[in-house]
Amino acid sequence: MGERAKCANCKQQLLPLSRPIPVLSSQDFDELIGNAKIPVLVDFWAAWCAPCRMVAPELEKVASSRPGSLIVAKVDTEALPQVAARFAIRSIPTMILFRGGREIERVSGAMKASAIASRFALPTEMARAG
């Protein structure tokens, strides 16, 4: 997930990811968390949640400032309640940082991108090879 890849049709760069990606199923979540070679910051959110909508652009900033060194993923707790239940999500937004398939740290509540990066001691962008 931290490597460069391009679309076979349009040649647009696909990897490294520079924006949050939606998680569409429990299986996708398990594969992402279990197989990611770089840290994954998961935002547990819902469309009706005003603080979730406030933190969304901040997570965009976090993702765009760390392509190749961090994956930002979004889990809609309404669409995937079983994933939210597995991690005992009681309030949203809740952000959990995973490394090597394991939960490292979590925080709840809306905050600015700089506070998110500071709170989780997020890695900076990897040096890009030409």
Give the side-chain half-sphere CA count within 13 A for 125.
13
Tell me which of 49, 62, 83, 89 is the catalytic residue. 49
Among residues 52, 89, 111, 122, the one annotated as catalytic is 52
Nearest residue to 68 via CA among 121, 15, 7, 13: 15
Distance CA 62, CA 70 (A): 9
Residue 7 among the catalytic residues? no
Give how far the C-alpha of residue 130 lies from the chain's centroid of Cα atoms, to the nearest Å: 26
Instruction: Show which residues are catalytic.
Output: 49, 52
